[in-house]
Structure 1
Amino acid sequence: MTAQRILSLRTRWPRLSMEQVLQFIVGALPLLMLTVLLATLVSISTAKATDAAACKGNNLLESMAKENPALLAEIQAEADAIPNGRGIFWKIEKDGVKPSWLLGTMHVTDPRVLKMPEGARLAAADANVVVIESDEILDENKAGSALLMHPELTMFTDGTSIKDHLDAASLTKLDEGLKQRGLSLAVVAKMKPWILASFVALPACELSRKAGGASFLDMQIAKDAVAAGKPVAGLETLVEQLEAMADLPIDFHFKALVETITLGDKMEDVMETMTELYLSGDIGMTMPLLKTVAPSTTEGDESAYAAFESRIISDRNLVMAKGSTQHLEKGNAFIAVGALHLPGEQGLVELLRRQGYRLSRVE
């Protein structure tokens, strides 16, 4: 799924844990990069990939409704207070131009997500241009070359490895989590923590589907556009996305990685719950729910969250809003970005409204 001063983390959720923020980060990661890396690092047999393709997570909200309905009501109330917290498909209007469309995506290969709302499918098919976060996902060679030009964004280039930054217990947990996904710590030890986090935060079934060549929603939308002879435009580059990650304090990433490893199999439940929230359009429920999943953060993490909010959320939303304008002014554009970029006072929906557009949720 997907990316907001979207949800004002410090003011609305001042006690978020590292893992909770990581869930947002994972949704924002350039997943083509994971596909490229998996192609070279993961050795998964056809049988194993088939076995792993069946995700086994449970919706945490269902058990919460039975075991702690008061907590569920609290989460719902918090979600209800978030502007534009419901809906993944929006109509964008402005006098004098044909309406455009905004779809919040989830960056996964789950067939339920790939199906898309019927109205969104028709709008994409009819659009003059399709706009996604990065059009580089259409060219793996170009994307791979760009990443190779900036090895410091994905790898330790100072002679250290992940083994020099984590204690023995954390390394053991990381090793076990990677093995479950067909990876060896020895092979990926030079990778930066936000790359490793991508492997352990996503369920094995999701990584297996990607390794098998399955497209995530954004890529499917882009491929369909190309097949139909439509132009595809991007709002960011993969390098820009990684630079945003690299700008955050390294300790922040290590803490997030360790907490995610600690969750273990519960990550499948988290992903399933996030997926079902996405499918129901309850995007505003995502972060309030995640607050209940992992341990609370400490006061010392406040500066890290300030950096996260500024660099990963606010900055990117502003870039997306500004980059969308040239297409919206021409009309009949179909814009698809991570769903978590949409809600909140500084989310994409509100930012576009401030630019003079009328946005209405499409049921």
Structure 2
Amino acid sequence: MKSLPRHARRLLAAPLALLALPLPACAQEAPAAATDADPALWVVKDADTTIYLFGTIHVLKPGMTWFDEAVKTAFDRSDTVALELVMPDPAAMTGLVTSLGVAPAGTPPLTERLPVAKRAAFTAAVTDLGLPADALDRYRPWLAATRLSIGPVTKMGYASENGPEQVLTAAAKAANKSLVGLETAEQQLGYFAKLSDAAQMKFLESTVDELPTVGTQMGEMVADWARGNPKGLAREMNDSLKDTPEVAKVLLTERNQRWAEWIKTRLEKPGTVFVAVGAGHLAGPESVQVQLRKLGVKTQRVKY
């Protein structure tokens, strides 16, 4: 498989809260024809508890049918749905973004902080989103990078409205299921905000470098997810994070460890739970399943 641009691959582990960041309105590509998807699903069981593990892609184009067959059966059997995050109201998100993502007064404009060789491409990427050239200059590097990563994907027709989290949230509410979040929005945005400035700048620079090739590669990543191919997703995830160990530790390894602990603890209480987290967390050598195995908990792939 052709290697994905790193900023596209990071969407496999990106916190869900990033998809709530405001983006400018832009023309979108026409939706593709309906496509059947069979994403990977796992299960953890003991005598009186069943926990399903479902990997999501936070943004999808309309027309992909995935909420059926094994996934729908597992969801219907569950009395609790656990997502990475239960979205707060927009006003709360705006406040968090402002407090964590806007640079302190007196900080040089972001454009001036970039290497001279990167500035023209950065400005072009910003204006490509329909924004003024200086629109992101007051942002901290992590927020600018995520805005630039998500913007082109949105233009291609991918949207969180079509993503599994929103579908599952609506279905859980309609069925009066308990809906819980594994993290808060403040936690999720804080993962980026607490990165060192050097890591944030590297994230931004690599995002700018890789923007031109995101389209086809995003499609390949979604295709791997739709085929239920965690090994393919794992290859991309490992490659995307190997040169940014600080980001890998914060976004992937530590979160997977915490979620595995949550799942093990939840096994102590009877019931059936449907856990949905980004597909990258259920793939590779640092996956939630690997962390569970370290805790003595076995997972099994669910067959369609």
Classify the TM-score, shorter chain. 0.7 to 0.9
* Superposition pairs of residues 1-363 of structure 1, within 5 angstroms: 20=6, 22-38=7-23, 42=24, 44=25, 48-49=26-27, 52-54=28-30, 88-94=40-46, 96-111=47-62, 115-116=66-67, 118-135=69-86, 137=87, 139-148=89-98, 151=99, 153-160=100-107, 161-202=109-150, 204-206=152-154, 214-286=161-233, 288-289=235-236, 305-329=244-268, 330-363=270-303
Greater helix proportion: 1
Contact 1:154–1:192 under 8 Å retained in 2: yes
Contact 1:235–1:324 under 8 Å retained in 2: no
Aligned in 2, Cα 1:25/1:159: closer, same or farther, shift over 3 Å? farther
CA distance in structure 1 between the partners assigned to 2:223 and 2:158 by the alignment: 20
Structure 1 residues 234-264: Cα deviation after superposition (integer angstroms, max 9, x where no partner): 1111221222223333223323322332233
Question: Could you tell me how far 1:309 is from its partner in structure 2?
Answer: 3.1
CA distance in structure 2 between the partners assigned to 1:291 and 1:352 by the alignment: 19
2:216 partner SS: helix
Mean Cα deviation higher: 218-227 or 137-146 = 137-146
TM-score, length of structure 2 as denominator length: 0.82
Taking only aligned residues, the RMSD between alpha carbons, in angstroms, comes to: 3.2
TM-score, length of structure 1 as denominator length: 0.70
Question: Could you tell me how far 1:55 is from its partner in structure 2?
Answer: 7.5
Question: Could you tell me how far 1:271 is from its partner in structure 2?
Answer: 0.8
Structure 2 unaligned segments of length 5 or more: list them.
33-38
Question: Which residue does 2:35 correspond to in 1?
Answer: none
Which residue identity does 2:213 align to in structure 1?
Answer: K
Which residue identity does 1:270 align to in structure 2?
Answer: Q
Question: Could you tell me how far 1:117 is from its partner in structure 2?
Answer: 5.3
1:185 partner SS: coil
- Aligned pair count? 294
CA distance in structure 1 between the partners assigned to 2:187 and 2:237 by the alignment: 27
% identical equivalent positions: 23
1:226 partner SS: helix
Structure 1 unaligned segments of length 5 or more: list them.
1-15, 57-86
Question: Could you tell me how far 1:197 is from its partner in structure 2?
Answer: 1.9
Between the two structures, name the one with larger relative contact order (CA 8 Å, sep ≥ 6).
1
CA distance in structure 2 between the partners assigned to 1:279 and 1:334 by the alignment: 19
Aligned in 2, Cα 1:361/1:129: closer, same or farther, shift over 3 Å? same
Question: Could you tell me how far 1:313 is from its partner in structure 2?
Answer: 1.8
Contact 2:41–2:55 under 8 Å retained in 1: yes
1:37 partner SS: coil
CA distance in structure 2 between the partners assigned to 1:262 and 1:55 by the alignment: 27
Greater strand proportion: 2
Which residue identity does 2:215 align to in structure 1?
Answer: E
CA distance in structure 1 between the partners assigned to 2:168 and 2:153 by the alignment: 21
- List 4+ stretches of structure 1 deviating above 6 A: none
Aligned in 2, Cα 1:357/1:97: closer, same or farther, shift over 3 Å? farther
Question: Could you tell me how far 1:89 is from its partner in structure 2?
Answer: 0.6
Contact 2:102–2:138 under 8 Å retained in 1: yes
